[in-house]
Structures are given as C-alpha cells and as structure tokens.
Amino acid sequence: MIDKSRSGVRCSTVRLIRTAEGDLPRESGGTIRYETENLGRHLISVRWDKGFTMLMFSEEIDVLHSDPHPPPHPT
C-alpha cells in the first residue's frame, strides 16, 4: 500500500549512497514522494535535488520536517 501522508516533506541522506544515477553524498537533500512496504521492508520514494528519483530504505535517510506545510511564523 502506498502512503502519501509525508509527500513533500524534506529529507537528507545519513551517509554516502552510491546509485546508478550518481553518488548522493552525506546530507544530500531530497523530497519524499511516497512510502511503501515490500517484503517486510519500509521503502521511501525520494525525489533528490540532483534530479532523479529512487526508492530508499528508511534507515538511509533522515526526515527533516514531519509536516510538509508548517504553520506560518508568528510576527
């Protein structure tokens, strides 16, 4: 089942990730598209700032904000 509840939330890599599209150095930024489960593993589809999308294991990324639309700053 696809979960889009965190779609649009920013994330970053916790370590260097080597991919066929190119390397994602530690702290590379991206945006979550959706989450899913496959064979008991939690996978997260991320659109990376480098211009490609790939599925990541949940332990490979840090979620930076839990709310993609935080409330405005009080003035």
First to last CA, the chain: 41
What was the pLDDT predicted at 8? 95
What was the pLDDT predicted at 43? 97
Q: Which has more pLDDT, 66 or 26?
A: 26
Whether the model pTM is above 0.85: no
Q: Which fold has domain 10-63?
A: SH3 type barrels. (2.30.30)
Q: Where are the domains of the chain?
A: 10-63
Q: What is the pLDDT of residues 30-75, one digit of tens each?
A: 999 999 999 999 999 999 999 999 999 999 999 997 655 555 656 5
3-state secondary structure of 60: helix
Say whether pLDDT at 21 is over 80: yes
Q: Average pLDDT in the 8-35 region?
A: 96
